[in-house]
Amino acid sequence: METRATAVPVTRARAEYVDRARGAAIALVLFSHAMHMLGGWAAPAPDGLWDALLVVVRAGTPTFLVIFGVAVELVHVRRWQAGEKVQVRRALLKRALQCYGGYALVALAGVLAGGLAWSDLLRRLTLRQAVPFGAILAFYAFACLACLVLIPLRNRIGPLGVLLVCLSWWPIAELIDSMIDRNSRFLSTVFGIGFGAGPSMFHGLALVAAGMVIGQVVSAKLRGEVPRRVVLEAGGLIVAALVAAVVLVAQRGVGETIAGWIDISVLRQTNHWGYFVLGFLAAMTVLGLCYVVVEKWGITRGRPPGPFGSSSLLAFAGGNAALVLLHPLLTTLDPVSAVIASVVFVVAVWAAITAGRTVRARRDRARAPDARRPADRSPAVP
């Protein structure tokens, strides 16, 4: 049954708390990468300190994926339903190229810093070898291309139907994996076949689709009307995730579940369903906290989202490229110093991009002096 809407007006209102959640995800991931570079995670720390910190930090990656799905629903789906199909396709292709460009930038930074070999650059750019800190950018490029198919599909079967289609990849991947006796980085990265590069791109689309289900509610709220069906679908998804999390804990125990969430080789790199359940709930927690802060408490309402919220691609690609370039100059620090230095790095990335945007805005205003002149408010001559 087709669920396509007709002549949906495209509003330009932004959900500020979604931007804040995206910014929080970027900050968490950049902090984690900086800690890794500084040897912070490997340094001895008081019992439970790193575990407690990693429980929070690990929420960054799945939040990225879920917020991507929310943004697809808020921007591209609404424009598609308003008849701007060509513009949506162009925007997705452009974004895919930009994300892949960011991925290539991080890879090139690794080569220039001496951490990666020039001879391996092509293999890394074609996903046959890993690019440290570049996986999310490669996934974003893939997800943008995938949305060229997912958005028309969503318009016919709804976001919940798209989620079910994405979840169907799990048994397919298991079947193919049982038939192929090889471990390829490319197959692992893209399809989740083999071990070592989870979450794979195909498996990760489930979190994007889950974000689209949640994005329905956000989009409807911006329009001032939230259909009951939309609320039931989103609420049902959250309840299902909670039930699945309870099952996961019952199977593995609390301690082992937390350990599997912290150690990416246990759940994440094996594309275990538990990682996606916990990741979705973590993303909902981040989004929910941002909603309370912005919408309920009004603490940051009306303020610009900052570079992490509105220039996320530049912040993430530029921040990781800078971190990779600085790697030869970095030394292993004690736990406290590593945490402080990582926080300083995140703030420095934020400040650098903010400064760049300010300079660019001033330059643009200087090039268009007429735009600064007040409008002529004298009565019109009849």
The pLDDT of residue 372 is above 60: no
Average pLDDT over residues 332-348: 89
pLDDT tens digits, one per residue of 137-161: 999 999 999 999 999 999 999 999 9
Residue 169 pLDDT grade (very low, low, confident, very high; cuts 50, 70, 90)? very high
Residue 263: inside a domain, yes or no?
yes
The whole-number pLDDT of residue 225 equals 86
Long-range contacts of 151-156 (CB under 8 A, 24+ apart): 151/72, 151/76, 151/77, 151/80, 151/88, 152/80, 154/77, 154/212, 155/2, 155/3, 155/4, 155/5, 155/77, 155/80, 155/81, 156/2, 156/3, 156/4
The whole-number pLDDT of residue 128 equals 87
Residue 333: inside a domain, yes or no?
yes
Residue 375: inside a domain, yes or no?
no
Residue 259: inside a domain, yes or no?
yes
Q: What percent of the chain has pLDDT over 70?
A: 88
Residue 161: inside a domain, yes or no?
yes
The whole-number pLDDT of residue 300 equals 72
Residue 249 pLDDT grade (very low, low, confident, very high; cuts 50, 70, 90)? very high
**CA–CA gap between residue 66 and residue 70 (Å, rounded):** 6
Residue 3: inside a domain, yes or no?
no
**CA–CA gap between residue 62 and residue 351 (Å, rounded):** 25
Residue 369 pLDDT grade (very low, low, confident, very high; cuts 50, 70, 90)? low
The whole-number pLDDT of residue 21 equals 93
Residue 297: inside a domain, yes or no?
yes
Residue 164: inside a domain, yes or no?
yes
Query: How far are the Cα atoms of 28, 263, 335 from residue 45, in angstroms, in the given order?
Result: 19, 17, 6
Residue 330 pLDDT grade (very low, low, confident, very high; cuts 50, 70, 90)? confident
Average pLDDT over residues 222-231: 89
Residue 13 pLDDT grade (very low, low, confident, very high; cuts 50, 70, 90)? low
Angle between helices 16-37 and 335-367 (to 10 degrees): 130
Task: Report how many domains make up the chain.
Answer: 1
Residue 18 pLDDT grade (very low, low, confident, very high; cuts 50, 70, 90)? very high
The whole-number pLDDT of residue 310 equals 67
Range of the domain at 265: 16-364
The whole-number pLDDT of residue 39 equals 84
Average pLDDT over residues 345-362: 86
Average pLDDT over residues 27-55: 85
Average pLDDT over residues 244-261: 95
The pLDDT of residue 12 is above 60: no
